[in-house]
Amino acid sequence: MTSLLASAEPTSTPVWAQLVDLFVAVCFVLALKGLSGPKTARNGNLLGAFGALVAVVVLFFSTPGMKNLPLILAAILIGLIVAFPIARRVKMTSMPQLVALFNGVGGGAAALVSIIEFLTAGESESKGILAATVFTVIVGSVSFTGSILTFLKLQEAITTRPIVIPGGQYITSLVGIGTLVAGVALVISPTNGLLAVLIVLSALLGILLVLPVGGADVPIIISLLNAFTGLSVAASGYVLGNVLLIVAGTLVGASGTLLTREMAKAMGRPLTNTMFGAFTATAVSAKAGGGEDRPVKSAGPEDVAIMLGYANKVIIVPGYGLAVAQAQHTIRELVDLLTAKGIEVDYAIHPVAGRMPGHMNVLLAEANVPYEQLKEMDEINPEFASTDVVMVVGANDVVNPAAKSDPSAPIYGMPILDVSDAQQVVFLKRSMRPGFAGIENELLFDPKTTLLFGDAKDTLTKVVSAVKNM
């Protein structure tokens, strides 16, 4: 038992530096704690960043005889030059894919750390260390390729729909088993050849696992891969005998797992469905194709202005399309106008509106929409029945009744906003194209629904001026 767990690295770190690491670990715990509350979130994040800075700076002073120092500093500088401008300038709408990308490179880094340690100390490592190495390589590589693929999906560089390869689940299972076999073999006989096989198989596994994940499930996968990276960082910490990496990695692994479960719950999706649902959902898109020529009722901006202007109660359902059109400010202007006329207006925020849970809150906060006008789903759903007009701007899947009525739909079981309870529904859409999940929305063909086609910002601007002239 003890030989299995014995750490190979006798720590040459001085005691004071170990105490600094303890301080940093506490910073990270408090950072996560802070991030869980709206008031403390920003300070929590800053505390985490401060802790990380301390850890890195102290490392250079506490490690005797560090080689390759100029190269190391140059590499850090390159990382800074790459990361800082991207993180600073990215549009808030593209943030989910950026998080996926950052997560992926972290997973790649963790895998590399273990690979290097293996190449350096290879055969002499204890079995426990080798097992941790295998774990880091598998999970880190899966996280790396999986996250990069998720990034490409969200960037819409490749299709957002599930990609199902014929016999995909068999290929995935085979690769998964192959990865495990290679991992066990590596622990028994540590050779560089086996390591190479393990890396290739794990990288392939990451791609195969994410390929069939489609549309609305992508955010959950980001969160899951985030937890994965955390665990692989923890395992790499075990390989190196570094307490800070173990603590930080495990914290993220554990909290990320919990967060993933919460998100899946908010969408009414057991996690297993998210990952394997697409394997069975192939028939849906073919079936949905049939209804596209059916008549819909469309109207001009003036008609919509009249509907809104004479309502007593209006609810706005903002979606990702609103953000893409950069129409957050315009919608706020419209809401301000209506409120000034004495009309009661609220925003209904679905938990996964946008591309990530909470994403829409961030986007509307950017446009200075007051917090108290944002109503969460459970709070607003009973209100729809007493609402005159619901205006759905650039959202689709979160109001699609198929989630309740059609067990074959990929989003079946996801809680939705019950907009069909309202007197009238107005959809602002660019086209009849289905939403991110790629499913036809029956509500578009409902007699109480009016469609207003066009770019959300243009049409909203026209609605605003029409309301002003009333």
> Which of 103/400 has CB closer to other proteins?
103
Q: Strands 313-318, 389-393: parallel, antiparallel or unpaired by DSSP?
A: parallel
To other proteins, the closest distance from the beta carbon of 79 in angstroms equals: 3
Q: How would you class 411 by CB atoms within 10 Å of its CB: exposed for 0-12, middle for 13-18, buried for 19 or more?
A: buried
To other proteins, the closest distance from the beta carbon of 274 in angstroms equals: 15
> What region, left, alpha or beta, does residue 394 occupy, with left being phi > 0 and alpha being psi -120 to 50 degrees?
left
Non-local (6+) Cβ contacts of 38 within 8 A are: none
> Which of 91/297 has CB closer to other proteins?
91
> Which of 206/351 has CB closer to other proteins?
351
Cα separations in angstroms, 407 against 160, 189, 284, 404, 411:
21, 49, 10, 8, 9
To other proteins, the closest distance from the beta carbon of 466 in angstroms equals: 28
The secondary structure of residue 298, as a DSSP letter, is: B
397 labelled catalytic: yes
* C-beta neighbour count of 294 within 10 angstroms: 11
To other proteins, the closest distance from the beta carbon of 229 in angstroms equals: 5
- Encoded amino acid at 133, one letter: T
To other proteins, the closest distance from the beta carbon of 415 in angstroms equals: 11
The 3-class secondary structure across 213-265, one letter per residue, is CCHHHHHHHHHHHHHHHHHHHHHHHHHHCCHHHHHHHHHHHHHHHHHHHHHHH
| CA 342 – CA 324 distance, rounded (Å) | 30
Question: C-alpha angle with apex 104: 127 to 323, nearest 5 degrees?
Answer: 155
| CA 209 – CA 198 distance, rounded (Å) | 16
The secondary structure of residue 146, as a DSSP letter, is: H
Sign of CA dihedral 181, 272, 94, 442: positive
- Encoded amino acid at 243, one letter: V
> Which of 56/165 has CB closer to other proteins?
56
Cα separations in angstroms, 442 against 171, 352, 396, 401:
36, 20, 10, 7
Instruction: Compute the chain's Rg from CA coordinates.
Output: 26
> Which of 263/419 has CB closer to other proteins?
263
> Which of 104/183 has CB closer to other proteins?
104
> Which of 307/398 has CB closer to other proteins?
398
- 428 close to 419: Cβ distance less than 8 angstroms: no
| CA 402 – CA 213 distance, rounded (Å) | 19
Residue of 113, 117, 50, 63 whose CA lies nearest to 245: 113
Instruction: Please name every residue paired with 426 in a beta bridge, in sequence order, or none if there are none.
Output: 391, 450
To other proteins, the closest distance from the beta carbon of 393 in angstroms equals: 19
> Which of 152/243 has CB closer to other proteins?
243
- Containing H/E element for 416? none
Q: Which of 397, 406, 421, 455 is catalytic?
A: 397
| CA 319 – CA 46 distance, rounded (Å) | 30
- Catalytic positions, please? 397
